[in-house]
Amino acid sequence: MGWTRREVAAMAALALLVACAGESPTSPPAASEPSVSSQAPRPAAPRFAPRSLAPRPSTTAGLIGTWGGDHVRITVGAARAILEYDCAHGSIDQPFAVDPNGRFDLTGTHVVESPGPVSEGNPPAAHPARYTGSTDGRTMTFTVTTTDSGQAFGPFTVTLDAPGRVFRCA
């Protein structure tokens, strides 16, 4: 005798119902009779106390813009800063981040310029540099030190939203 699809489906559903009777894949396992070992007190789950994290440097928020002063101008962007000085220029090749006290120690380049035109085949040498200083969010004081020669320039003081007065080499 042949079985119809409806009868086969009904038999499969019945078999599944019988196989899973009393258990569900999402329910917790059934409790069994308590035994001597299961009556022992369970250790408390470990509790973790909150801990302090080291302060993270702030990003460029609030520092983006033009900072100017005597003989220097800095344009701070989200990813880097461009500096112009009398007879020199430079860049900070990373976001301008300060610590919670407003201090910074950033890396970049410093290029000393000379008077007159720059020959196409002989541009001025770019030196690796560290820019160190501090800011209160309105005024910034910093020093530039070339890391290959140890030569220091500054200190410079600049103010946010000031144009700066830079003179090109003559």
Q: What is the pLDDT at residue 108?
A: 96
Of 111, 115, 92, the closest CA to residue 149 belongs to 111
In a domain, 113, yes or no: yes
The predicted structure's pLDDT at residue 73 = 95
Is this prediction's pTM over 0.85?
A: no
Residue 9, domain member (yes or no): no
CA atoms within 13 A on the CB side of 158: 27
Q: Whose CA is closest to 108, among 70, 139, 69, 79?
A: 79
pLDDT in tens, the chain (170 residues): 566 767 766 666 666 555 655 555 555 555 555 555 555 566 665 565 555 555 544 555 678 999 999 999 999 999 999 999 988 999 999 999 999 999 999 999 999 887 766 667 767 788 999 999 999 999 999 999 999 999 999 999 999 999 888 887 76
Q: How far apart are CA 96 and CA 105, in angstroms?
A: 9
Q: Is residue 101 part of a domain?
A: yes
What range does the domain containing 130 cover? 65-160
Phi, psi dihedral angles at 38 (to 5 degrees): -80, -10
Locate the DSSP E strands across the chain.
Answer: 65-69, 72-76, 81-85, 88-92, 103-112, 126-135, 139-146, 152-160
Q: Give the per-residue pLDDT at 142.
A: 96
Structure tokens, 124? 């001025």
CB atoms within 10 A of CB 125: 10
Residue 71 lies in a domain: yes
**In the chain, how many domains are there?**
1
Is 104 contained in some domain? yes
**Is residue 130 a part of any domain in this protein?**
yes
Give pLDDT, residue 62: 74
Is 28 a member of any domain?
Answer: no
> Is residue 3 domain-resident?
no
Q: Give dist(CA 163, CA 79) in Å, integer.
A: 21
